[in-house]
Amino acid sequence: MEKAIFLDKDGTLIKDVPYNVDPGRIVCYPDIFASLRLMQKNGYKLIIISNQSGIAKRYFTISDLDIAFSELSDQLKAEHIILDGIYYCPHGEVTDEPVCTCRKPLPGLLHKAAKDLDVDLKKSWMIGDILSDIGAGRAAGCRTILVDRNKKERRNFRISDPKFTPDYIVDDFYGLNQIITSDTINYERYSVK
């Protein structure tokens, strides 16, 4: 079985522009490239896991979204990074009743990707910038890392809920490399204040 790193897109890999599908406004954070290359070199599949409720809200179409994703793939390819999969939830936001099983923090997309690509979830990681990414990763049995670029999400009240507690909190992808590549699993958590 394979091991994977599941990656949120907006606010994690690229600057968060809400509901954006304009390829001209897709800007990667510069710290991601070396880190993603290292993950790839260490045998991890790289798989995007993204909530895209703009589809359900009819802000954009699936083909608009495809264009945006292929722009991101191309930018990564130019840096010698090949994505192994892109999975997204096109459904609306959960209000009282979940409308699907794939919108993060639900783990449906991770389960689907794992099945499609023969991934062992226990050997895999979920990396994202908000706690719903962490919730999805934990629910799927992955280890999780919160990339908290502006040091705000770590103050979210849900971080005290074990279902949403990341294994690690880092400020950016520069902080990730040692965690991912040292295959010693260290569950000691960064202090959360």
In which element (H, E) is residue 125 found? strand 125-128
Choice between 23 and 92, CB closer to Zn ion: 92
Residue 100 binding partner per list Mg ion, Zn ion, none, with a CB distance cut-off of 5 to 8 Å that depends on partner kind: Zn ion
Annotated active-site residue 8? The verdict is yes
Measured CA distances, 38 to 31, 33, 71, 80, 81 (Å): 12, 9, 22, 11, 10
Choice between 106 and 180, CB closer to Zn ion: 106
Annotated active-site residue 120? The verdict is no
- In the complex, which residues of this chain contact Zn ion (CB under 5 A)? 89, 91, 100, 102-103
Residue 11 binding partner per list Zn ion, Mg ion, none, with a CB distance cut-off of 5 to 8 Å that depends on partner kind: Mg ion
Choice between 150 and 191, CB closer to Mg ion: 150
- Position closest to Zn ion via CB: 100
Angle at which helix 131-139 crosses helix 108-117, to 10 degrees, equals 50
Q: How far is CA 24 from the centre of its chain?
A: 22
Taking the complex as a whole, the smallest distance from the CB of residue 10 to Mg ion amounts, in Å, to 4
Catalytic site positions: 8, 10
